[in-house]
Amino acid sequence: MRTPVFTGSCPALVTPFDEHGTINYDAFGKLIDDQINAGVDAVCVCGTTGESATMSIREHIAAVEFCVKRVDRRVKVIAGAGSNDTSAAVYLSQHAQDSGADALLHVTPYYNKASQTGLIKHYEYIADRVELPIILYNVPGRTGVSFTADTYKVLSANPKINGVKEASGNFSLLAHTRHLCPDDFYIWSGNDDQVVPMMALGAKGVISVASNIIPEIMVKMCHLCLENDFEAASQLQIKYMDLIDALFCEVNPIPIKAAMNLMGMEAGPLRLPLCDISDKNMAVLRASMERMGLLS
C-alpha cells in the first residue's frame, strides 16, 4: 500500500530573482526556512509558481539541488520535473532523484495536447526510469489537456504514481476519480480557493501558492480538515477568499510575487513573457492585503 508523499500544506515555492534576472539564492533560502518554520508539511520547488517554464535546464537542476540541501530533510521536497518532451521529463526526474528530492511533480504535457493513451504512455515511461514517487499535475487551463477519471484509474495501478495535484476545478472529475481509483491513489488540491471542499471529498491537502505569504493559515486550514473539523476549516477558507482571489487576479505567479515584494520578501522581478502586475490589480491586491493585516 502506498503512503501519501505528504498530508497537509505544501507551498509551491516562488523562485526569487535578483535585478539581473538570476536566482537570488539568499532570498530563496530565507523563503524555504520561513516556510518550514511556519510548519509546512512539504515544499515544492520548480513548479508553475517557481517560473520553471522560463528556467534553463541548468538553472532548474541547480534550484532543485539548492532546495534539497537547504531543507536538509526537515520536510519532504517535491521537485517539479514536467515537460512536453518525455525524454526531458525523464532527464529532470533523474537529476532530481540524484539530488535527493523525495518526490516528483509532473504536469501534463502542454501544447502537444496528448491523447489519454499518450498521457498513460508518457507517465508509465517516466515511472519506469525513476524510483521516486510521482505526483501527477492536472491543470488543463494551462496545458490544454485534462486527465479523465478512467485514465487516473489506469495510472493508479502503477505503484510509483502516488496521486495527483488536481487544479482543474472539476469536482465531478474529483468525485469520479475517488470512485474509480483505490484509496491509496492520493489527491491534493492545486487551487487555494478549493482546499476545504476538495479535502471534504478526500484530498490530503494542498500544494499552495498563497502559502508563500500565509503559510500558517494554509497549514491550519489543512490540518483542521485532517482532524475532521470542517466547520472551522470552512471559516478560514471563507475568511481568506478575498485575499486568495486577489492572488489570482492575474496569471500566477504575477500577483504572488507582487505581494511578496510588498511585504519585503525580495521575490524580485518576473521573467518574460510574464510582466509586472497592472496598476489596477496592484491596487486590488494591496487593499486585500491591508484588510488581512499583511501590510502596515
The set of catalytic residues is 137, 165
The DSSP secondary-structure symbol of 17 reads: B
> CB under 8 Å to 15, separation ≥6 — which residues?
23, 28, 45, 46, 50, 51, 52, 55, 63
Q: Helix or strand or coil: residue 9?
A: strand
CA atoms within a 13 Å half-sphere pointing along the CA-CB vector of 106: 35
CA atoms within a 13 Å half-sphere pointing along the CA-CB vector of 138: 23
| Grid coordinates given for 252 | 500566477
Strands 161-166 and 134-138 come out as: parallel
CA distance 294 to 273: 28
